[in-house]
Structure 1
Amino acid sequence: MNDVNIKGRKCFISAVAYLHNNTKSELEYFFSNVVRRINAGFENFELILVCDDDCYDYVKEVKQGLTECSSPDIISVIKLAYYQGAEAAICAGDDLAVGDFVYEFDSIAVNYDVNLIIDVFNKAREGNDIVFAGDDTMQLSSRLFYRLININKAKSVRHDTFRIVSRRALNRVKKMNRGIQYRKYLYVTSGLPYDYIMYKPVNSNRERKTGRESAYRLNSGISYMMIYTRIIERVTLILSAVFLLVSVGVGIWTIYSLFYDKNLASGWVSLMGVISFGFFGVFLLIMFLTKYMNIILEVNTRRLDYIVESVDKL
């Protein structure tokens, strides 16, 4: 299944890879294995590298690594103006890509057999607009995120390492959401056919996350759940209902005490407890509402998905 037929070889293939906090050895391994495998399997192939680091030395390492393996027809390196995360970086690469099919690599850490790249393409040629490749090795936080975001969903989003996307899928997803984008969710809910290929890791290579990237993912995960699910909305409604009942109960208790309690000081502890509980709920709701307003503001005022500083043709 690893061979690509003649018709498939004539497709124009783009590969978008996200670079952040990677070592030179990781870059060289990605270029000498993944890039070389794609370049050998297709007649027309372009590589787009999106650099999300603060210094331009990153791009120099990329150029040096590319000279040591067979190069694609077109190589572009996008340097983002500042750290913007994997979602914006891949979107920048997708906008520059011109291929009929686009590989998206959220990380250049390779823990799979490189022939899987061709298997994913063959699966796409069977009629799937999106094909995901992933394994089941996830952190507890990731498992919790996917469980929450898939609540009451007919189509589930799953963890993946990389994916191939048709031009039709890219065009449709671009029209679905203009603000904060979670591409995997949009691909699954685009209405186009998709499939998963699960694999067992062949080595222990894993993506290394910095503190800034972990904070970005946590913030993005909360935003995705607010936008693409109704979990936070339901929690807010339940909390509002609970505190409404508490307020009604306090009102009834106050009226009762006014007429029947001759020593109001005896209820001081209970009163303070209710007040503390009520204010806790108020501040929690304010936190949720503040997050919602921030998302609404960003979606309505943000005109660009990303900001590019430079694009180099190698």
Structure 2
Amino acid sequence: MNNTNTDCFVSVILPLYNDSRIITIVVDEIVSILKENYQFYELILINDGSEDDTTEQVEDCLHKYSGLRLINLSRHFGTEIAISSGLDTAIGDFVVILLPDCDPPQLIPELIRQCQDGKDILIGVRKNRLDDPLWMRLGVNLFYWTCQHLLHIPLTKNATQFRVLSRQVVNALTYVPDNYCYLRLLSAYIGYRSQTFTYTPIKRYKKVKKRGLIASINLGLQIIYMNSAHPLRLASYLSILASGFNLLYMFYIVMVYLIKNKVAEGWVTLSMQNAIMFFFISVILGIICEYIGLIFAKSRGWATYYIADEKNSSVFIVERDTYNVVNDSKDIAI
């Protein structure tokens, strides 16, 4: 065992969704690394409504390894919510978040060491996106540029879910009562001492899990609408601009009436004006509807997630003689 890190409790959160083919290998790697470097640890496996035999595979691991906890969510809520449920139950001094199909567990000891040296948040950043299709890379670059330069949303470009959080940061994150929290952005909003690290994701599947076009667009819109008031400000600017055009057109009508003796009907101009005005109105209504929909969703008061059941390892994490329990209290003065 490496004695440099044994004085801390490490929690690892692993969100799972239809990962039965790789879960045994991943758990074996993570547990081996934790056991080699730390005396106190826990591996929290969040089953996010998997439709395969992920639950059965994890239950087999519970009987084989120590320090494992399984949380079965009642349905599929998504990776962000699954990680949030893990943060709510993690008890470690440092909490590691990683995805089973692409994040390398071998980096955990070095990342924990950096946190012990004074960092509260370590954020994983993909080295490149060469595996993504061209349309995805172009869309991602445009999205990050828009967020950083136009909307002033502090997103870290190419940031992943792989990160390490101190106990203070975890407490701050779990205090935020937001059903639509985006953890990669929320980590930046709460402050604390943060640092990025670049790594190359691994591939445990031949076909890497990818977010589709529609899902990517929905996620991008949710991030923008939930974290910036700039779209509403844009709607205000468009309203002012449309009103200005309308005033100019009214002035144009008055001038034509005063200067010309015979005024043409001008159906082309009238049609163009109506088209422009309805375009602005449609854009403004679309943006307002998105915000109203989010306000409605928040007003329902539903819980962020629901847990179906929770199971723990049947194996002790440490030897009995290391427990902090007093067997004989006759010499203790109270």
Tell me the TM-score range normalised by the shorter chain: 0.7 to 0.9
Deviations 1:19-51 (A, max 9, x none): 1243x3332332232343223321111111112
Corresponding residue number in structure 1 for 2:123? 132
TM-score normalised to structure 1 length: 0.84
Q: How does 1:82-161 map to 2 (within 5 A)?
A: 82-105=75-98, 107-110=99-102, 112=104, 114-138=105-129, 139-140=136-137, 141-151=139-149, 157-158=156-157, 159-161=159-161
Corresponding residue number in structure 2 for 1:292? 291
Q: Percent identity?
A: 21
Conservation of the 8 A alpha-carbon contact between 2:101 and 2:204: no
What runs of 5+ residues in structure 2 fail to find an aligned partner? 130-135, 314-334
| 245-254 or 149-158, which deviates more | 149-158
TM superposition shift of 1:155: 5.8
2:210 is the alignment partner of 1:209: yes
2:162 is the alignment partner of 1:168: no
* Aligned AA (1:10): D
Conservation of the 8 A alpha-carbon contact between 2:18 and 2:54: no
> Alignment partner for residue 58 of structure 2, among 50, 57, 62?
62
Conservation of the 8 A alpha-carbon contact between 2:49 and 2:73: yes
Q: How does 1:275-290 map to 2 (within 5 A)?
A: 275-290=274-289
> Alignment partner for residue 10 of structure 1, among 4, 7, 13?
7
Corresponding residue number in structure 1 for 2:48? 52
Change (3 A) 1:230 1:304: same
Corresponding residue number in structure 1 for 2:37? 41
Change (3 A) 1:243 1:171: same
Question: Which structure carries more helix by proportion?
Answer: 1
Change (3 A) 1:54 1:200: closer
TM superposition shift of 1:127: 0.8
Q: Distance in 1 between matches of 2:279 and 2:261?
A: 27
Corresponding residue number in structure 2 for 1:184? 184
Change (3 A) 1:245 1:204: farther
What runs of 5+ residues in structure 1 fail to find an aligned partner? none
* Aligned AA (2:6): R
Q: Distance in 2 between matches of 1:56 and 1:311?
A: 18
TM superposition shift of 1:160: 2.4
- Larger gyration radius, structure 1 or structure 2: 2
Deviations 1:243-282 (A, max 9, x none): 12222122223333444362432x1011101101210111
Deviations 1:117-158 (A, max 9, x none): 111111100111111223232342333333333337596524
Deviations 1:65-107 (A, max 9, x none): x279x6232x2222222221111111111111111111112x2
Q: Distance in 2 between matches of 1:175 and 1:146?
A: 27
* Aligned AA (2:27): F
* Aligned AA (2:118): G
Helix, strand or coil at the partner of 1:18: strand
* Aligned AA (1:43): Q
Q: Distance in 1 between matches of 2:290 and 2:311?
A: 37
Conservation of the 8 A alpha-carbon contact between 1:135 and 1:199: yes
Helix, strand or coil at the partner of 1:9: coil
Corresponding residue number in structure 2 for 1:250? 249
Conservation of the 8 A alpha-carbon contact between 1:49 and 1:76: yes
